[in-house]
Amino acid sequence: MKNTTKAVLFRYLIALMVVLFMTFVLRNNLKNSQVNVFNTALIFFFCVAGQYVMLGLGGMLGMCSITFLGLGAFLCAYLNTRCAIPVIPSIILGTVASGLLALFLGLLLLKLDGPYFVFGTIGVVYIGTSIFQNFTAFTGGPNGISGIGKLSLLGYTFSTFKSWVPLLGTLVMLLLFLLYRIKNTSFGRGLMAVRDDETAAFSLGINVYRTKVIAFAVAGLLAGFGGGLYAVHNGTISASLFTFSTQTKFIIMLMLGGVMSPIGAFCGTILVNFLPEIARFADSYLNLLYGCMIIVLMIFMPMGLAGVQKELATRIRTASQKRIAAKKGA
Amino acid sequence: MALFFQQTLTGLSVGLVYATVAMGLMLLLRAAGVMNFAQGNLLAMGAYVGYALIEKLNLSSMALAILLSVLLFVFVGCIFCGVCVLPFKRAKWPQAMLICTLGAGTVINELCLLLVTTETKALRPIIPGALTVGGFVIQYQYFFIFGAMILMMGGLYFLFEKTYCGCILSAASQNKYAADLLGIPTNLTIVITFCIVVCMTGVSGWLLAPIYYVSPSLSTFQARAFASIVIGGFGNLQGAVVGGVIVGLVEAYSSYFTTTYKDVVVFGCLLLMLVIRPTGILKSEQRKEKA
């Protein structure tokens, strides 16, 4: 018992160190625009985390996280600028609305299985994009919404991108803990059972439909929260972000990092978002490079970076075990 | 009334294009088990190839241009298949193939932009001008699209129902294991299916180019093709045709009451269909679960 508390404390310590490290390194070494990219990556991780719950744990390829992100962002922006509601309540309201929409769509779409579900969610993405771009009264149409208020917490106002880093870092670390925690709850285990075999899960007394709907709603909640953060962080949003191509990018982030591991997904998110910065030399060939990279990665390591790491770890372990066995034999 | 006819005819021809793209998706899904997210990019590639051959190389004879383009499409089909399907025969995670097609779509799109043109261009129609009867105006290109799509579907039907080669193709897609036992080279059938699909999609893209311009945004046709698959009935080819035509007509008629929310109407229909009758209008073939 004491051992576990120690391990938990150790993990918290590591997370704290990572956040502090990020804060100081970024503050001193990166330009403002690069910090912006980093923060955006951290915010997108909320969406990717939702995808992880759906695809990695639940095995359902939901394509409409971007719509929940958009709803969270636009509702937060709308409430803040037009209804003069403070920032934090409007983020919460946006999150709740996204969660409710996700719950409703989940109840509707999860009666379908396999490809039908995927097509349904794709349809939702296109409807969302169309509404975000054309419903001027709510989203400001092509101009978007600007002039969203700054977040202030405990008397401290987050005015620059750099001041956001510790906050977002802490939130992401909390999210990572939450994801690992979800994996070990009865809900998470039920979800994984559903992923592996629905019939077997059903025979073991898991309510398949309800488990899936909850997973979908959780993904919607996370994405909505990310959307609210995105709106407040940037201070301005436009509808051009919330399209199907961004959604495919989320899926790629998840698959690149490793669909089964939250840390891997986190690394994938950072990597994909920083690619334009790293590969600046590629210039107009950047997207070509990106496409080729995806293909090569999927062919040679379909489980992503985390899969590679796992494989290497097992290989090293077996090698060392062999060595020990050989020593004992000798 | 003239407007109604005009909408119907444009809806029908665009719907037939959706149907062709949807049939391509369906063939790939049945033959190789891959949900091809690069189908829209292949459609756009057709338009780019047409533009490159006619406007850039100034090929005088149409026959030569068509021959060259078909060769190119077959080449692309082989490469696409080699990259996106064959390496995944033993993959544990089926979504990897899907992500791979996404990557391939990006590559195709970028190659088109880099090699052909980065600007949005208009391609000369085969016969310029429009037919005018009373208030009824319709470009000649729509008739070409209509005719070519009907021809292609007829050809596909003939191939799959009447010829030996088509029998082999459908046998391999229906039960891969049994086909292997009978000595059918299943890898080869997958490659051939890919070539056929890329040719169909590419030609449709070329024919669309004079109306919708040569631009990467042609790839949005893919989402409509997904919608038509579901509306028509998942898993059978007739369903794809019916669904495609319905989607085209719905889109055309929706311009009576809205111009900006066409997407909402079309995909709203999709969601409605999924809720009311998930099997589609023609009943879909149930894909067998893993044994």
Question: Which one of B98, B104, B223 has the shortest CB-CB distance to A126?
Answer: B223
Q: What was the pLDDT predicted at B74?
A: 92
Q: Indicate whether A1 pLDDT > 50.
A: no
- pLDDT digit string, tens, across residues A265-312: 888 888 888 887 777 777 778 788 888 888 888 888 777 777 787 888
* A302 inside 8 A of chain B by CB: yes
Predicted local distance difference test score (pLDDT) of residue B288: 43
ipTM of the complex: 0.79
Task: Give the pLDDT of residue A100.
Answer: 92
More confident residue, B100 or B279: B100
pLDDT of B270 above 70: yes
Query: What pLDDT, on a 0 to 100 scale, did the predictor assign at position A58?
Result: 82
Work out the minimum CA distance from B140 to partner chain A, whole angstroms.
30
- The answer to whether the CB atoms of B100 and A131 lie below 8 A apart is no
Measure in Å the smallest separation between the Cα of A320 and chain B Cα atoms: 27
- Rounded to two decimals, the pTM is 0.83
Mean pLDDT of the A315-325 span:
85
Residue A323, pLDDT > 50, answer yes
Contact flag B37-A55 (C-beta cutoff 8 Å): no
CB atoms within 10 A of CB A278: 9
User: Does residue A12 fall inside a structural domain?
Assistant: no
The answer to whether B96 contacts chain A (CB < 8 Å) is yes
- Of A25-29, A42-46, A59-63, A168-172, which range is least confident? A25-29
The predicted structure's pLDDT at residue A186: 87
Is residue A235 predicted with pLDDT exceeding 70?
A: yes
User: Is A124 a domain residue?
Assistant: yes
Say yes or no to pLDDT of B46 above 60. yes
Look at A197-211, B197-211, B265-279 and tell me which has the smallest mean pLDDT: B265-279
B221-232 and B2-32 helices cross at what angle (nearest 10)?
80
Going by C-beta distance under 8 Å and a sequence separation of 6 or more, which residues neighbour residue B92? Answer: A302, A303
In a domain, A322, yes or no: no
Residue A103 pLDDT more than 50?
A: yes
What tens digit of pLDDT does each residue of B246-265 get? 888 888 888 887 777 888 88
Instruction: Name A237's bridge partners.
Output: A145
Whether residue A4 lies inside any domain: the answer is no
Furthest CA-CA distance within chain B: 62
Residues of B (13-52) whose Cβ lies below 8 Å from A:
29, 35, 37
Average pLDDT over residues B15-20: 89
How does pLDDT run across A114-139, given as a tens digit for each residue?
Answer: 777 888 888 888 888 888 888 877 77
Supply the pLDDT for residue B255: 80
pLDDT tens column, B227-238: 888 888 777 778
Residue B290 has pLDDT above 50, yes or no: no
pLDDT tens for A145-161 read 777 777 777 767 777 77
Is the CB of B184 inside 8 Å of chain A's CB atoms?
no
- Min Cα distance A221 → chain B (Å) is 22
Helix H, strand E, coil C: the string for chain A is CHHHHHHHHHHHHHHHHHHHHHHHHHHHHCCHHHHHHHHHHHHHHHHHHHHHHHHHHCCCCCCCHHHHHHHHHHHHHHHHHHCCCCHHHHHHHHHHHHHHHHHHHHHHHCCCCCHHHHHHHHHHHHHHHHHHHHCHHHHCHHHCEECCCCCEECCEECCCHHHHHHHHHHHHHHHHHHHHHHHCCHHHHHHHHHHHCHHHHHHCCCCHHHHHHHHHHHHHHHHHHHHHHHHHHHCEECHHHCCHHHHHHHHHHHHHHCCCCHHHHHHHHHHHHHHHHHCHHHHHHHHHHHHHHHHHHHHHCCCHHHHHHHHHHHHHHHHHHHHHHHHHHC
Domain presence at residue A13: no
- The answer to whether A47 touches A249, Cβ cutoff 8 Å, is no
Q: How far is CA B239 from the centre of its chain?
A: 14
Residue B289 pLDDT: 39
Q: How many domains in chain A?
A: 1
Q: Under a CB-based contact definition with an 8 Å cutoff, are residues A252 and A242 in contact?
A: no
| Between B42 and B212, the higher pLDDT residue | B42
Q: Which of B263, B279, B283 to mutate to test the interface with A (most CBs of A within 10 A)?
A: B263
Mean pLDDT of chain A: 82
Is B136 strand, coil or helix? strand
* Domain interval for residue A119: 18-302
- What's the average model confidence in pLDDT over B80-102? 79
Q: How far, in Å, are A109, B163, B200, B203, B225 from residue B74 at the CA level? A: 38, 20, 10, 12, 22
Cα–Cα distance, A237 to B224 (Å, whole number): 27
Nearest to A255 among B95, B106, B227 (CB): B95
- What whole-number distance in Å separates Cα of residue A76 and Cα of residue A232? 8
Residues of A in contact with B104 (CB under 8 A): 291, 295
Angle among Cα A42, A21, A173 to the nearest 5 degrees reads 40
Q: Report how far residue A301's alpha carbon sits from residue A315's, in angstroms, rounded to the nearest whole number.
A: 16
Q: What's the helix, strand, coil split of chain B in %, to 5?
A: 75, 5, 25
B88/B246: higher pLDDT: B246
What's the pLDDT score for residue B171? Answer: 83
Residue A69: inside a domain, yes or no?
yes
The answer to whether residue A8 is domain-embedded is no
The minimum CA-CA distance between A309 and chain B, rounded to whole Å, is 17
Q: Residue B2: CB partners within 8 Å, gap ≥ 6?
A: B133, B134, B135, B136
pLDDT above 80 for B36: yes
Polymer length of chain B? 291
Give the residue among A220, A188, A219 at the shortest CA–CA distance from A201: A188
Classify residue A11: in a domain, yes or no: no
Q: What single letter denotes the amino acid at residue A92? A: I
Q: What is the pLDDT of chain B when averaged over all its residues?
A: 82
pLDDT digits (tens, 9 = 90+) for B187-209: 888 888 889 899 989 988 888 88
Q: Which of A13-17, A35-39, A89-93, A228-232 has the lowest mean pLDDT?
A: A13-17
Does residue A330 have a pLDDT over 70? no
